[in-house]
């Protein structure tokens, strides 16, 4: 199929020396790969399950002399039958299928972290793998989400909070994040709304303050 059939899409490329991303608008973009599909057929990683107690094995019944002779005779009979059985006919070779041009095999969603690492998006890959390997936790309502209450009516467990993957130094490498951070610490923190919010928080501890000290 001619590439003119598809519309160009915007995309990013990475400069692996300067560690910077470059954005290409749609008019300078690329054509999508024909036949590319995103699959979700791959089984998710298995969650660890508590070991179940192993029931004690029942003692095997003792065989007498006659049972042993009967078992030996049956084994000889099965072996002789196996020797006399002819080999099954080999299945015919399947006809070679003509490969579709420009066809791309399905790309499973769990392969995305590996593709991210190829593009030096290591933190994004770590976060997505953490999502795949995590346990099910969600808030049934928006209020539950704000209160960090999961579907069991309990506070979200500690393993739901990631305090190590994303560092502030890494975030501030991006100009937009640095600009927002500078505005926050230099301007927004001294706004009337910020002062009002700070006053509400500190008013909770008014009874614990000794003004004579």
pLDDT tens-digit profile of 195-210? 899 888 888 887 776 6
For residue 28, being part of any structural domain is answered with yes
Give residue-wise pLDDT tens across range 64-86. Answer: 666 666 676 677 677 667 666 77
For residue 58, being part of any structural domain is answered with no
As a whole number of angstroms, the distance between CA 83 and CA 64 comes to 29
Confidence of residue 26 (pLDDT cuts 50, 70, 90): low
How much of the chain, in percent, has pLDDT values that exceed 70?
67
Domain that holds residue 194: 167-208
The DSSP letter of residue 72 is H
Confidence of residue 104 (pLDDT cuts 50, 70, 90): low
Question: How far apart, in Å, are the Cα atoms of 65 and each of 68, 69, 70?
Answer: 5, 6, 9
Confidence of residue 179 (pLDDT cuts 50, 70, 90): very high
Most confident option among 5-14, 24-33, 151-160: 151-160
Q: State the average pLDDT over residues 53-69.
A: 65
Indicate the number of domains in the chain: 2
For residue 76, being part of any structural domain is answered with no
Q: Is 4 exposed, middle or buried (0-12, 13-18, 19+ CB in 10 A)?
A: exposed
Q: Are 24 and 10 in contact (CB under 8 A)?
A: yes
Closest Cα partner for 157 from 137, 142, 129, 127? 137
38: β partners: 107
17 vs 99 pLDDT, higher one: 17
Q: Are 47 and 22 in contact (CB under 8 A)?
A: no
Q: Is the pLDDT of residue 166 over 80?
A: yes
* Amino acid 1: pLDDT: 47
For residue 171, being part of any structural domain is answered with yes
E strands in the chain: 11-15, 20-24, 38-39, 107-108
Q: Is the pLDDT of residue 175 over 80?
A: yes
Q: Are 104 and 34 in contact (CB under 8 A)?
A: yes
Q: Is the pLDDT of residue 99 over 60?
A: no
Looking at 81-85, 109-113, 114-118, which range is the least confident one? Answer: 81-85
Q: Are 20 and 14 in contact (CB under 8 A)?
A: yes
For residue 154, being part of any structural domain is answered with no
For residue 19, being part of any structural domain is answered with yes
91 vs 121 pLDDT, higher one: 121
Q: Is the pLDDT of residue 102 over 60?
A: no
Question: How far apart, in Å, are the Cα atoms of 109 and each of 12, 106, 202?
Answer: 20, 9, 47
The DSSP letter of residue 192 is H
For residue 121, being part of any structural domain is answered with no
As a whole number of angstroms, the distance between CA 180 and CA 16 comes to 26
Q: Is the pLDDT of residue 113 over 60?
A: yes
For residue 130, being part of any structural domain is answered with no
Question: How far apart, in Å, are the Cα atoms of 124 and each of 34, 41, 119, 129, 131?
Answer: 26, 22, 10, 9, 11
Average pLDDT, the chain: 78
């Amino acid at each position: 199929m001619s590439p003119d059939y598809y519309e160009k899409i915007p995309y990013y490329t990475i400069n692996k020396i300067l560690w910077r991303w470059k954005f290409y608008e749609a008019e300078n973009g690329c054509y999508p790969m024909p036949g590319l599909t995103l699959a979700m057929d791959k089984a998710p990683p298995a969650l660890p399950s508590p070991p179940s107690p192993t029931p004690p094995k029942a003692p095997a019944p003792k065989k007498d002399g006659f049972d042993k002779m009967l078992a030996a005779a049956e084994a000889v009979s099965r072996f002789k039958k196996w020797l006399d059985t002819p080999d099954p006919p080999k299945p015919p070779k399947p006809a070679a299928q003509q490969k579709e041009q420009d066809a791309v095999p399905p790309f499973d969603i769990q392969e995305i972290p590996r593709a991210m690492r190829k593009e030096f998006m290591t933190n994004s890959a770590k976060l997505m793998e953490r999502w795949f390997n995590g346990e099910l936790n969600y808030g049934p309502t928006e209020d539950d989400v704000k209160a960090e209450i999961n579907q069991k009516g309990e506070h979200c467990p500690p393993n739901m909070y990631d305090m190590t993957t994303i560092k502030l130094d890494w975030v501030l490498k991006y100009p937009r994040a640095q600009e927002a951070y500078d505005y926050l610490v230099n301007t927004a923190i001294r706004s009337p709304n910020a002062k009002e919010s700070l006053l509400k928080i500190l008013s909770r501890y008014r009874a614990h303050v000794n003004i004579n000290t």
